[in-house]
């Protein structure tokens, strides 16, 4: 099952009866915006990784190499289509107007999340693998009921997941619900080839898109490093999804970086493999095409680079000034109103934390 591709790694465009027309219909503004999203996401990734290495973030989850699939799909959707992301959809989040600072808040442990999901139609990051696919199905069932009650909008729901999460029971359940109820669900699987250290070949003997057939809906495979194909595929299939036909879009891509900053990918994959994917970089091929087709010139690219650099500096400043999350907030946000059990546990923890001996030179000496 060859992934659909419009833009080859060398930046050449292949005509396609079904999908190419979606691209030909796009103006410079949209085409440029997609580049800006990708470039910004990449700069954000680099800066955030550095911040983590400098002890300013607890953790960072890079989306390095996956910018095209994310950008293409989110651009093709409507602003009111609700997205249920994993923890790696930075390019999608930025496209929805979530600021880099808001994105970092959770990773600095300065908040449970940094944005209002309803404001951006973009749910908070789910760290529990695959759980968001069930939340998404639930949301879609809610939409269905709203529509039955006379609401006119026909937004769809995007459930993001990776090749690793495809093995989760939650994902299966979500797809069964989507199929059984005819939910307007778009499963956006970014197959980045590695579930931390487990290769995708171990998780699935077939293309993940084919799993859709088991649930009785359609699956399509796209080159996830090709922003144009990702856009076109999402644009082409979204109307069917809106009508209650769930779909899988499997974006075949590659996680160029570590799974998270706590991971060392050199321990489980070869540098040859990484190099082979470097040659398929999504941003450079798109830049080549934009310039060759006359959609942007080198001046514009430098402008974007400068913006991205500013963004990085702003981000660094903003991240440093973020206040840490007060431990009490962990308890205070469980229930809307005070709750006796939670209050009791909070008091217990306070007491526990206060119950340590003062740090003196003597105990310091004993430890060594």
Give, as one character, the DSSP assignment of residue 280: T
Q: Which residues of 267-281 are buried (b: 16+ CB within 10 A; e: fewer)?
A: eeeeeeebeebeebb
Nearer to other proteins, 201 or 354 (CB): 354
Task: Please tell me the distance from the alpha carbon of residue 90 to that of residue 45, in angstroms, as a whole number.
Answer: 8
119-125 long-range contacts (CB < 8 A, ≥24 apart) are 120/93, 120/96, 121/79, 121/80, 121/81, 121/82, 121/83, 121/96, 121/155, 122/82, 122/83, 122/85, 122/92, 122/93, 122/96, 122/98, 123/82, 123/83, 123/84, 123/85, 125/85, 125/86, 125/87, 125/89
Chain residues 109-128 in contact with other proteins, contact rule CB under 8 A: 109
Q: How far is the CB of 46 from other proteins (least distance, A)?
A: 8
Token pair in block for residue 2? 């060859």
Contact flag: residue 320 with other proteins (CB under 8 A): yes
Chain residues 168-197 in contact with other proteins, contact rule CB under 8 A: none
Contact flag: residue 270 with other proteins (CB under 8 A): no
Judged by CB under 8 A, the stretch of 49-57, 84-92, 188-196, 283-291 that binds other proteins is 49-57
Contact flag: residue 266 with other proteins (CB under 8 A): yes
Contact flag: residue 324 with other proteins (CB under 8 A): yes
Q: How far is the CB of 59 from other proteins (least distance, A)?
A: 6
User: Which residue in the set 54, 113, 197, 333 belongs to the binding site for other proteins (CB under 8 A)?
Assistant: 54
Contact flag: residue 20 with other proteins (CB under 8 A): no
Contact flag: residue 333 with other proteins (CB under 8 A): no
137 bridge partner residues: none
Contact flag: residue 40 with other proteins (CB under 8 A): no
User: Which residue in the set 42, 108, 135, 221 belongs to the binding site for other proteins (CB under 8 A)?
Assistant: 108
Task: Please tell me the distance from the alpha carbon of residue 169 to that of residue 122, in angstroms, as a whole number.
Answer: 23
H or E element: which one contains 304?
Answer: helix 298-321
The answer to whether the beta carbons of residues 275 and 239 sit under 8 Å apart is no
Contact flag: residue 357 with other proteins (CB under 8 A): yes
Q: How far is the CB of 303 from other proteins (least distance, A)?
A: 18
Contact flag: residue 359 with other proteins (CB under 8 A): yes
Judged by CB under 8 A, the stretch of 9-17, 30-38, 228-236, 350-358 that binds other proteins is 350-358
Contact flag: residue 363 with other proteins (CB under 8 A): yes
Residues 6+ positions from 359 with CB-CB distance below 8 Å: none
Contact flag: residue 59 with other proteins (CB under 8 A): yes
Residue 248 in 3-state DSSP?
strand
Nearer to other proteins, 14 or 349 (CB): 349
The answer to whether the beta carbons of residues 244 and 216 sit under 8 Å apart is no
Contact flag: residue 341 with other proteins (CB under 8 A): yes
Judged by CB under 8 A, the stretch of 37-45, 186-194, 214-222, 260-268 that binds other proteins is 260-268
Q: How far is the CB of 84 from other proteins (least distance, A)?
A: 25
Q: Convert residues 275-314 into a mask of x (bound to other proteins by CB under 8 A) and - (unbound).
A: --------------------------------------x-
Task: Please tell me the distance from the alpha carbon of residue 126 to that of residue 115, in angstroms, as a whole number.
Answer: 13
Contact flag: residue 106 with other proteins (CB under 8 A): no
Radius of gyration of the chain (CA): 22
Torsion over CA: 221, 95, 186, 81 (sign): negative
Binding-site ranges for other proteins (CB under 8 A): 46-47, 50-59, 108-109, 258, 261-264, 266-267, 313, 316-317, 320-321, 324, 337-341, 343-348, 351-352, 355-359, 363, 367
């Amino acid at each position: 099952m060859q992934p659909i591709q419009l833009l080859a790694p060398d930046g050449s465009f292949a005509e396609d009866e079904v999908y190419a027309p979606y691209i030909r219909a796009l103006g410079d503004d949209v085409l440029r915006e997609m580049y800006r999203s990708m470039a910004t996401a990449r700069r954000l990734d680099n800066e955030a990784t550095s911040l983590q290495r400098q002890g300013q973030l607890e953790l960072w989850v890079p989306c390095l190499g996956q910018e095209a699939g994310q950008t293409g799909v989110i651009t093709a959707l409507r602003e009111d289509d609700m997205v249920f992301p994993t923890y790696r959809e930075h390019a999608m989040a930025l496209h929805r107007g979530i600021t880099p600072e808001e994105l970092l808040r959770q990773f600095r442990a300065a908040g449970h999340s940094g944005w209002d999901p309803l404001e951006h139609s973009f749910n908070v990051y789910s760290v529990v693998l695959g759980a968001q696919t069930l939340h998404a199905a639930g949301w879609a069932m809610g939409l269905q009921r709203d529509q039955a009650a006379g609401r006119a909008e026909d937004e769809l729901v995007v459930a993001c997941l990776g090749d690793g999460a495809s093995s989760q029971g939650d994902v299966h359940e979500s797809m069964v619900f989507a199929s059984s109820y005819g939910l307007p669900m778009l499963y956006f699987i970014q197959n980045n080839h590695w579930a931390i250290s487990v290769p995708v070949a171990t998780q699935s003997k077939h293309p993940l898109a084919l799993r859709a057939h088991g649930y009785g809906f359609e699956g399509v495979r796209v080159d996830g490093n090709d922003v144009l194909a990702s856009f076109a595929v999402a644009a082409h299939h979204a109307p069917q999804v809106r009508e209650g036909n769930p779909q899988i879009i499997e974006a075949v891509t590659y996680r160029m970086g570590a799974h998270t900053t706590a991971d060392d990918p050199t321990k489980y994959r070869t540098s040859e493999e990484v190099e082979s994917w470097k040659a398929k970089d999504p941003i450079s091929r798109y830049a080549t095409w934009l310039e060759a087709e006359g959609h942007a010139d080198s001046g514009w690219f430098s402008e974007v680079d400068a913006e991205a650099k500013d963004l990085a500096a702003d981000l660094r400043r903003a991240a440093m000034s973020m206040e840490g999350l007060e431990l009490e907030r962990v308890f205070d946000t469980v229930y809307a109103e005070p709750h006796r059990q939670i209050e009791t546990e909070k008091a217990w923890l306070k007491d526990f934390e206060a119950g340590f001996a003062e740090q003196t030179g003597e105990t310091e000496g004993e430890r060594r």
